[in-house]
Structure 1
Amino acid sequence: MTQSPAAPLPPPKERRRLREAHALTQDQIASTVGVTRETVRAWEAGRTTPRGTKRVAYAKLLASLEDEVTRFQEMTQPQGAAVASLQAEPPCEETAGSEEQGTPADPGTPAAAGAPAAQADPPSQDAPERPPLTPAQAFDALYAFCAPALVRQTYLLTGRRELARESVERAFQSAWQRWPEVATDRDPAGWVRATAYEYALSPWHRLRPRYRHPEPPPAAAPDRALLDVLLRLPPSYRRTLVLYDGVGLDLPETAAETEASTPAAAHRVLHAREALTARLPELADPATLHRRLAEVASAQRLRATRAPAVRLSGERRASFWTRAAIAFTVAIIGATALTLGTAPTHYEPPVPPGATVGGVPPRQAPGALSDAELTLRAKLRQETSHGPERLVPDVR
């Protein structure tokens, strides 16, 4: 009796792409196959491989999802080039409706971060060729996908609405200044997200006058309690928790983005969950915590600035600092030239300090004249200007 061959499965990244292409969550996949969410996450990360009946059910589900994607691409084949060019930039925000009905979407779950772009069928020869996206259009596409989610994520990190918007704008301005580097990066969305998090969690904001006083908390009492506990965590723990339980990254990706080892990231997640559970026991379930983070972030009216305005502001800021650097360099050159022009051309040894000479009697001041000296002085003054008469020597 021979054993039946195992059902074929696509690569781990392709599994995740198929799920996100249909706006399905890991919980929905897990309930369909009959496993837990952590198991589905491990399958999509490639850490484990399904076996037995679970593998057959999972393979059938992925095959049905792939068939739907193929039919959709055949229907929209004339637009294949434009779709492929837009999907080259991985979106940061999960498609609306990914959660249950009446529940807001995740605060920026990356829909295709780290996943390859959809392989569209090659257009036919009769289909018109679409020009490639310009750098500005590609930047605007990345901003449209990532900015709304990043604003909500940075709000969870800081609890400040204005700082969240400012952090996202600064991150995209830096991305526009380094666009050749960001456009060729393996994960442009992760690059922008890491920059926004670094700016939002900078300790120098506490020195700014506008950020010395706290902003009004959320209106709902449960949201205030969750945000208060979240802001009491250390910045590194808070960032790891938002990435893992809020954004939905797996543990290796979270560790890589926080520049920590995988065990260190796992300990941070565990300690952060323990601190949250100690204050809010109803958040012990990771799925409940994921949903509550999404609700707190989505309850705030956080809107990102338009992409052209961000690009223009970044260009103006770069121009200002470039001119400032040029002016400072010119001032340094002028000061150096003035110093070289007024500096001595030869060595002048320093004058040694005076030294006391011993054995020399101190100089005495002249005292009063005696009577004989006064008489002699009067006699000399009475003589003619040519002096006294010459004395003739006696030769005898």
Structure 2
Amino acid sequence: MTRTPETPLPSPQERRRLREAQSLSQADVAAAVGVTRATVRSWENGRTTPCGSKRDAYARLLTGAEEVTTHQENPAPALVGSATGPVQASPDHAETTPEPPSETPPASELGPEPKPELAPDPEAELEPLSAPLTPDQAFDALYAFCAPALVRQTYLLTGRRELARESVERAFQLAWHRWPEVAMDRDPAGWVRATAYEFALSPWHRLRPRHRNPEPPPTAPADRALLDVLLQLPPVYRRTLLLYDGVGLDLPETAAETEASTPAAANRLLHAREAVAKRLPELAEPKALHRRLAEVASAERLRAAKPTTVRWGGEQRARHWTRAAIAFTVVLIGATTLTLRTAPDHYEPPLAPGATVHGVPPRVAPGPLSAEELALRAKLKGETVSGPERLVPEPG
């Protein structure tokens, strides 16, 4: 059998330009093709590529062959990007069946608190400007776009407010330290999110004194019950559930971010949903779980620090570690120099150990002289120093 060639698609940057040239939003394209906004964003970032009938429909839409009915001017913001449908797994493979985006929950009764959401709205992306952004402005724009939702996500991942703020700040500080690499990444928001999750789930936090005692749980009993169920899941299951049912990523993106295969990510998601539904039957539906995750995170009113503070903290941390590295290098050079100056420069054989000598008679002190010895001594003393005179023969 011959395989039908796939419909050619433009480059990711060209896809976004063609969409904007037709005055279409990502939500319009998602509704026309039958996917989620997160999937359209992934197509435009170049992380994934459509296939099959969706590829043909997407290609026709970009070329303007089909008309799209635009949404209302002020659509209600999604809770966590987009809701996803149930996952069906078989022994051989696992695949997902997307469902329509979840409806917006009623407005919060807590005053001016923003509507619950865990993922930034794709429509909030910055429009291209005539003048290029400086690195500071680009970083601040990324931080304002991602940080508020990322703090809430990390709180659901760890159950600790301070750790959630610290994880997001450390992730953005590392992003500022590696800004050229992050700025050129296909998905800077995903890069920061993965870094924040890795720091938040690090097992070394359990050795810190302030993390040995649990933080106060949420005040609402329903929120406390859901957070307890999430924290009882294994970290990798909790992260998969949050990315798929919370943030709104599709299954391949979730598998890629958790460094797992797509079937493995699907099985983890199924087991996590079963564990939640067993404790909380009212959250068996993905839509209900999607909504409750956003409500629990938004009820805490977690605030992220200002981007200037994060950049300043990252620069201070970099200076601190640079000075510490210089000091360590100086100490190492000094120790090496001292060793070279004090070390011996030639071989000195070691002294042989002492040995006991046997057979030597003991030393005896002199006793009293006899009469003969006394006479001899007197005779010797009476002679001249040079001895007795010699007899010299005379010539005859």
TM superposition score normalised by structure 2: 0.70
CA drift of 1:105 comes to 3.5
SS at match of 2:287: helix
CA contact (8 A) 1:98 1:105 kept: no
Name the structure 2 match of 1:111: 122
Amino acid at match of 1:184: M
Distance between the aligned counterparts of 1:49 and 1:221, measured in 2?
A: 46
Name the structure 1 match of 2:392: none
| Larger RCO (CA within 8 A; separation ≥ 6) | 2
Amino acid at match of 2:187: D
206-215 or 331-340, which deviates more? 331-340
* Alignment gaps of 5+ in structure 1: 1-7, 73-91, 121-128
* Alignment gaps of 5+ in structure 2: 1-6, 83-100, 108-114, 390-396
CA drift of 1:295 comes to 0.9
Amino acid at match of 1:331: V
Q: For residues 310-325 of structure 1, what are the structure 2 equivalents within 5 Å?
A: 310-325=310-325
CA drift of 1:37 comes to 7.8
RMSD: 4.7
CA contact (8 A) 1:93 1:109 kept: yes
CA drift of 1:131 comes to 2.1
CA drift of 1:325 comes to 0.9
Q: For residues 1-396 of structure 1, what are the structure 2 equivalents within 5 Å?
A: 21=25, 29=31, 46=50, 49=53, 63-65=67-69, 94=81, 99-102=103-106, 104-108=115-119, 111=122, 130-346=130-346, 348-351=347-350, 353-354=352-353, 361-366=358-363, 373-376=367-370, 383=377
- For residues 300-332 of structure 1, the C-alpha deviation after alignment (integer angstroms, 9 at most, x for no partner) is 110000111111111111111111111111111
Q: Work out the percentage of aligned pairs sharing the same amino acid.
A: 58
TM superposition score normalised by structure 1: 0.70
Distance between the aligned counterparts of 2:126 and 2:261, measured in 1?
A: 28
CA drift of 1:190 comes to 0.7
Distance between the aligned counterparts of 1:381 and 1:153, measured in 2?
A: 121
- For residues 215-244 of structure 1, the C-alpha deviation after alignment (integer angstroms, 9 at most, x for no partner) is 010111111111001011111111111111
CA contact (8 A) 1:244 1:254 kept: yes
Judged with a 3 Å threshold, the aligned counterparts in structure 2 of structure 1 residues 334 and 66 are, in CA distance, closer, same or farther, namely farther
Greater share of helix: 1
- For residues 329-371 of structure 1, the C-alpha deviation after alignment (integer angstroms, 9 at most, x for no partner) is 111112212222222222x1431643758xx6344534688xx
Amino acid at match of 1:100: T
Judged with a 3 Å threshold, the aligned counterparts in structure 2 of structure 1 residues 366 and 309 are, in CA distance, closer, same or farther, namely same
- For residues 169-213 of structure 1, the C-alpha deviation after alignment (integer angstroms, 9 at most, x for no partner) is 111111111111111111100111111111111111111111110
Distance between the aligned counterparts of 2:240 and 2:360, measured in 1?
A: 87
CA contact (8 A) 1:20 1:112 kept: no
Judged with a 3 Å threshold, the aligned counterparts in structure 2 of structure 1 residues 66 and 37 are, in CA distance, closer, same or farther, namely closer
Amino acid at match of 2:301: R
Judged with a 3 Å threshold, the aligned counterparts in structure 2 of structure 1 residues 362 and 206 are, in CA distance, closer, same or farther, namely farther
CA contact (8 A) 1:158 1:231 kept: yes
SS at match of 2:303: coil
Distance between the aligned counterparts of 1:21 and 1:269, measured in 2?
A: 30
Give the count of matched residue pairs. Answer: 337
